[in-house]
Amino acid sequence: ARLVVLVSGSGTNLQALLDATGDASYGARIVAVGADRTDIEGLRRAERAGIPTFVVRVKDYETRDDWDAALAAKVAEYEPELVVSAGFMKLAGKAFLELYGGRFVNTHPALLPSFPGMHGPRDAIEYGVKLSGVTLFVVDEGVDSGPVVAQAAVPVEDDDTVDALHERIKRAERQLLVDTVGRMVREGFTVNGRKVTIP
Ligand code: GRF
């Protein structure tokens, strides 16, 4: 299967997928890496792996919808069967979801529906939960609100800083992402009781 991965930062989740897809038996290969900004480690990781990259910046477009349509068109050039948002910090809009809804997954560093949004690890600490974790879900038009594909629990330690918890979550996140994407492309997946297969 052809994967496009979208990033906005350090790209450690992307790196885990780069490492896994290097093995032909994994069942998927990354055909391009896209970002909403330049000069991030995530893009450099793709370049080091010899994978095409693209950047679609919100500020280069009149409206958010124009940006969304441009992002959708750019991703479509690579004809992915699955799009993976791994630390991509923008919400996909109507045009993007029309093209990729149902085969666009995102990873979030909390156990959704708890703690959606930009600060999952911080919100978990502030609430005082003893377990947080990571969620892989199919993106819908909401914020971190789509159907859950896979989750992993991660303990919260009493003295955790936000960074300490997020780093612990990211270790589980990379593993969940690699394992789940691999299973999705090889066996398909069930979302809301419906079986979805990636051609
Ligand atoms: C990940 O934990 C992701 O869930 C969150 O931001 C982090 C990005 O990390 N949105 P990286 O860019 O994959 O290293």
Between the CA of residue 171 and those of 41, 67, 75, 81, 198, what are the distances in Å? 18, 32, 28, 26, 26
Per-residue pLDDT of 142-181, as tens digits, reads 999 999 999 999 999 999 999 999 999 999 999 999 999 9
Per-residue pLDDT of 71-93, as tens digits, reads 999 999 999 999 999 999 999 99
Instruction: Among 115, 170, 175, say which to mutate for ligand 1: greatest number of ligand atoms within 8 Å of CB.
Output: 170
Q: Which residues contact 193 (CB under 8 A, 6 or more apart)?
A: none
Per-residue pLDDT of 87-137, as tens digits, reads 999 999 999 999 999 999 999 999 999 999 999 999 999 999 999 999 999
What does the DSSP assignment read for 47-94? HHTT--EEE--GGGSSSHHHHHHHHHHHHHTT--SEEEESS--S---H
ipTM entry: 0.98
Per-residue pLDDT of 1-23, as tens digits, reads 999 999 999 999 999 999 999 99
User: d(Cα 83, Cα 112) in Å, to the nearest integer?
Assistant: 20
| Distance from Cα 174 to the centre of ligand 1, integer Å | 9
Strand-pairing partners, residue 93, are none
Ligand 1 site residues, Cβ closer than 6 angstroms: 7, 9-14, 42, 86-87, 107-109, 170, 173
Instruction: Look at ligand 1, atom 12, and give the residue with the nearest C-alpha.
Output: 11
Q: Is 146 annotated as a binding-site member?
A: no
Instruction: Look at ligand 1, atom 6, and give the residue with the nearest C-alpha.
Output: 87
This prediction has a pTM of 0.96
Three-state DSSP class for residue 180: helix
